[in-house]
C-alpha cells in the first residue's frame, strides 16, 4: 500500500512540475508580458485590468452577504459580559435599533448599562468581560455568543470585522480586519466602535496601543453594523524618533544607465553618514564618487550578490535596494531606519508604486498557493482601507528592505537555496520565527519599475523548495490579511465562488 501511495505522489509531483513549466512559458509569452505592461496603465484610467474582477463593487458585496454562510466558531468561553452602550448625542431611532439588537442576542449571560453622558464608572463592573459599544451599533443576533466563544482566561480583548448599514437596512462599506496589528492600531481605530475587553484590563486603556500581545483576538466575521455614514478611516501616522544608525545601501546592478538614474534620485535623500555599495554583476563600471563598487562574476544569484555587498559594508543597518527603485520622498530611509532600530522589529519594507501611482508593493500576503503582493495595480481598496497604512505584514519585498546587521547575522542572511525567487519571503518568515515583527512603512515611498532588472520567472525547483519549507504557513490564512478576502491576480476582492466564513 505504501509503495502505491509513493508512486501516486511521484506522479502528482511530476505532473505539478510539468504544469509549472507550462505556466512559466505562458507567463513569459508575448501576450502576458503585454498584459503586465498595460495593466497599470488601464488601472490608472479606471478601466478593468485583464483577468481581474471588479474589486469594490457594491452589488458584489450584496451578493456576498446573501451567499456567505455565517456561523459561530467553536469555543469554550462562557464569560459574564457587561455591555456598556454609549448613548450620548444619539438619536432615538439609532438607539432603539441598537437596543433591539441587544434584546435579540442569543447569549444571555450579560447585563446592560446605558451611559447617556460622561464616562461610565467602571468600578460597578463585576463581570468577566466588558463589551464597549454605542447607539450607532447594530449587533448580529449571535454577536455576543461569538465574542464569548473566543474568550478565555488569557484573553485581553476580542474584536471582529464590521460594516455599515443605511436606514433601509442595506449593508455597505465593509471593514475587513487583520489579526492584531499594534502598528496599525496606533494610526487608526481599525477595530471600529464595538469590541470586548477582559474586565481585568479595562483600567489599562489605551492598553492596545502600548504593547503587542497574542491574547488580542480577531473574529473574521461581520458581527456588527455601524449606522454612521461611511467615511475613509482616519489616518494618524506615527512620527518615530529619528535614528542615528549608519545605513549601508546595497544595490546590485548590471545596467550602468539604470544605476546612474537610481543614484541620481537616491543621493539627495541620503544623510552623509550613510554609505552606498554597488555590486556590479558581469559589468565594468568606472569609479563613482561616494560609491564603493565590488564586482560579481557568475550567474544571477540574489543571495550571493547581496551577501558580497554586506561583506563590503560597515553600517549598523543594511538596506537592500533594486537598481530600478527610485525614492519619491526625501525621508524614506530615515523613516525606515526609525522602525528598523526598534528591538522587536526584524525587517522593514517600503511602499513601492508603479510610475503611474498604482501600488506595486504594500506588503506580501503569504497563504494558499503563492505569496501575493496585496493590492498590486490598485491605488486603494474600500475592502482593505489599511493598504497605505503602516502595519504588520508577513513579508516584504527585497526590492527595498531594511534590517539591522545584527538581525542579518542572527538569521544567516538570504538562504542560498533561493537564488532568484522567494529569498526575501523566506528571510521574513524566518525572522517571524525568531519572534520579530515585519513592518511595511508606508510613509517611505519609492517608485519601482519592476521586472527590468531580470525576467520575472518563478523556477519550479524554488517553488517546490519554498512550499516544502513553509507549507504549514501557506496552508493557513495569512494573519495580517483577512480570510474573507481573496488576492487572486493580487487584486483585493471578495472570493468567487463564495466561501463559508472561517
| Position 143 confidence tier, pLDDT thresholds 50, 70, 90 | very high
Give the start-to-end residue ranges of the domains of the chain. 2-51, 66-70+77-226, 247-490
Query: What is the dihedral angle through the alpha carbons of 378, 380, 382, 383, rounded to the nearest 10 degrees?
Result: 60
pLDDT in the model for residue 345 = 98
Most confidently predicted of 19-33, 55-69, 101-115: 101-115
pLDDT above 70 for 277: yes
Share of the chain above pLDDT 90, in %: 66
What are all long-range contacts of 465-468, with beta carbons under 8 Å and residues at least 24 apart?
465/417, 465/418, 465/422, 466/418, 466/421, 466/422, 466/425, 466/426
| Position 41 confidence tier, pLDDT thresholds 50, 70, 90 | low
pLDDT in the model for residue 459 = 77
Within 341-439, residue ranges assigned H as helices are 405-411, 423-433
pLDDT in the model for residue 12 = 57
Q: Which CATH class is domain 66-70+77-226?
A: alpha beta
Q: Which residue has the cell 542615528?
A: 244
Q: Kindly state the greatest CA–CA separation across the chain.
A: 77
pLDDT in the model for residue 472 = 83
Q: Do domains 66-70+77-226 and 247-490 have the same CATH topology?
A: yes
Rounded Cα–Cα distance for residues 128 and 273 (Å): 54
pLDDT in the model for residue 38 = 60
| Position 39 confidence tier, pLDDT thresholds 50, 70, 90 | low
Q: What average pLDDT does range 400-413 have in this prediction?
A: 98
Q: What average pLDDT does range 358-375 have in this prediction?
A: 89
pLDDT in the model for residue 299 = 93
pLDDT in the model for residue 425 = 96
Q: What average pLDDT does range 111-122 have in this prediction?
A: 81
pLDDT above 80 for 337: yes
**What pTM, to 2 d.p., does this model score?**
0.86
Rounded Cα–Cα distance for residues 203 and 156 (Å): 12
Per-residue pLDDT of 187-228, as tens digits, reads 999 999 999 999 988 876 665 554 556 689 999 999 999 999
Rounded Cα–Cα distance for residues 372 and 490 (Å): 6
Of residues 242 and 11, the one with the higher pLDDT is: 242
Of residues 22 and 345, the one with the higher pLDDT is: 345
Per-residue pLDDT of 287-330, as tens digits, reads 999 999 999 999 999 999 999 999 999 999 999 999 999 999 99
| Position 106 confidence tier, pLDDT thresholds 50, 70, 90 | very high
The CATH classification number of 247-490 equals: 3.90.550.10
pLDDT in the model for residue 405 = 98
Amino acid at each position: 500500500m505504501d509503495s502505491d501511495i509513493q508512486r501516486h505522489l511521484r506522479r502528482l509531483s511530476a505532473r505539478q512540475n510539468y504544469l509549472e513549466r507550462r505556466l512559466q512559458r505562458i507567463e513569459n509569452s508575448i501576450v502576458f508580458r503585454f498584459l503586465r505592461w498595460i495593466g497599470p496603465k488601464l488601472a490608472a484610467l479606471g478601466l478593468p485590468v485583464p483577468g481581474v474582477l471588479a474589486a469594490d463593487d457594491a452589488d458584489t458585496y450584496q451578493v456576498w452577504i446573501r451567499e456567505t454562510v455565517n456561523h459561530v466558531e467553536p469555543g469554550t468561553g462562557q464569560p459574564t459580559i457587561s455591555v456598556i452602550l454609549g448613548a450620548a448625542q444619539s438619536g432615538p431611532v439609532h438607539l432603539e435599533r441598537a437596543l433591539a439588537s441587544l434584546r435579540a442576542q442569543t447569549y444571555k449571560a450579560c447585563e446592560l448599562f446605558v451611559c447617556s453622558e460622561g464616562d461610565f464608572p467602571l468600578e460597578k463592573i463585576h463581570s468577566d468581560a466588558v463589551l464597549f459599544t454605542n447607539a450607532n451599533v447594530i449587533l448580529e443576533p449571535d454577536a455576543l455568543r461569538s465574542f464569548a466563544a473566543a474568550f478565555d482566561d488569557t484573553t485581553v480583548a476580542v474584536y471582529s470585522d464590521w460594516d455599515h448599514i443605511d436606514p433601509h437596512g442595506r449593508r455597505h462599506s465593509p471593514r475587513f480586519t487583520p489579526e492584531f496589528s499594534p502598528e496599525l492600531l496606533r494610526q487608526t481605530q481599525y477595530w471600529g466602535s464595538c469590541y470586548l475587553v477582559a474586565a481585568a484590563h479595562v483600567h489599562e486603556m489605551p492598553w492596545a496601543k502600548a504593547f503587542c500581545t497574542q491574547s488580542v483576538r480577531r473574529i473574521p466575521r461581520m458581527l456588527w453594523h455601524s449606522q454612521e455614514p461611511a467615511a475613509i478611516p482616519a489616518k494618524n501616522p506615527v512620527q518615530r524618533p529619528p535614528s542615528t544608525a549608519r545605513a549601508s545601501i546595497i544595490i546590485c546592478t548590471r545596467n550602468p544607465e539604470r544605476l546612474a538614474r537610481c543614484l541620481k534620485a537616491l543621493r539627495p535623500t541620503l544623510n552623509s553618514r550613510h554609505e552606498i555599495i554597488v555590486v556590479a554583476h558581469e559589468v565594468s563600471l568606472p569609479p563613482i564618487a561616494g560609491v564603493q563598487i565590488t564586482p560579481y562574476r557568475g550567474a544571477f544569484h540574489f543571495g550571493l550578490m547581496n551577501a558580497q555587498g554586506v561583506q563590503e559594508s560597515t553600517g549598523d543597518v543594511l538596506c537592500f535596494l533594486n537598481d530600478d527603485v527610485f525614492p519619491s520622498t526625501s525621508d524614506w530611509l530615515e523613516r525606515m531606519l526609525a522602525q528598523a532600530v526598534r528591538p522587536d522589529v526584524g525587517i522593514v519594507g517600503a511602499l513601492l508604486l508603479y510610475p503611474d501611482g498604482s501600488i506595486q508593493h504594500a506588503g506580501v500576503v503569504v497563504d494558499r498557493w503563492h505569496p501575493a503582493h496585496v493590492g498590486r495595480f490598485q491605488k486603494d481598496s474600500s475592502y482593505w482601507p489599511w493598504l497605505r497604512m503602516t502595519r504588520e505584514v508577513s513579508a516584504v519585498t527585497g526590492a527595498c528592505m531594511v534590517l539591522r546587521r545584527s538581525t542579518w547575522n542572527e538569521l544567516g542572511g538570504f538562504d542560498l537555496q533561493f537564488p532568484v525567487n522567494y529569498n526575501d519571503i523566506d528571510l521574513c518568515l524566518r525572522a517571524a520565527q525568531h519572534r520579530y515583527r515585519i513592518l511595511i512603512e508606508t510613509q517611505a515611498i519609492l517608485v519601482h519599475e519592476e521586472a527590468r532588472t531580470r525576467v520575472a520567472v518563478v523556477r519550479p525547483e524554488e517553488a517546490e523548495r519554498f512550499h516544502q519549507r513553509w507549507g504549514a504557513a501557506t496552508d493557513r490564512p495569512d494573519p495580517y490579511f483577512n480570510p474573507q478576502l481573496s488576492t487572486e491576480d493580487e487584486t483585493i476582492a471578495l472570493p468567487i465562488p463564495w466561501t463559508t466564513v472561517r
